[in-house]
Amino acid sequence: MARHIVTSVVDDLDASPADETVLFSLDGLSYEIDLSISNAAALRRLLAPYAAKARPREPAAGRDAGWRTAAERRRTTAIRRWALAEGMQVTARGRLPAQVTERYLRRHD
């Protein structure tokens, strides 16, 4: 007998499907939250004025340096599939061109 197991990640704010896990820190504590593209964009817009005035900190070695969550991998896969369906040329692996990701976000935000 074959099994097909599906794991879905939901947005921690509104229980819609989550597209990514957003990592952030505040007062010395690190947080992660699963969000849809629109809720992630809203959080980034909310924090943008503060981030613009803040001093950047180097990421810690290990998890923060190049480590991606399952939600981030699903988001990249979704962007790659969308780009291919739109006739764009993208590689099967590796980093997506910034302009492809930007077009996807504009279309889906």
Could you state, in order of their start, the residue ranges of all structural domains in the chain?
20-108
* Both tokens assigned to 109: 């935000």
Question: pLDDT tens digits for the chain (109 residues)?
Answer: 888 888 888 999 999 999 989 988 887 778 899 999 999 999 999 999 998 998 887 665 555 555 667 778 888 888 999 999 999 999 888 888 889 988 998 888 6
For residue 20, give Cα distances in angstroms to 53, 89, 90. 25, 23, 20
CATH of span 20-108: 3.30.60.230
Q: What's the pTM value of the predicted model, to 2 decimals?
A: 0.52
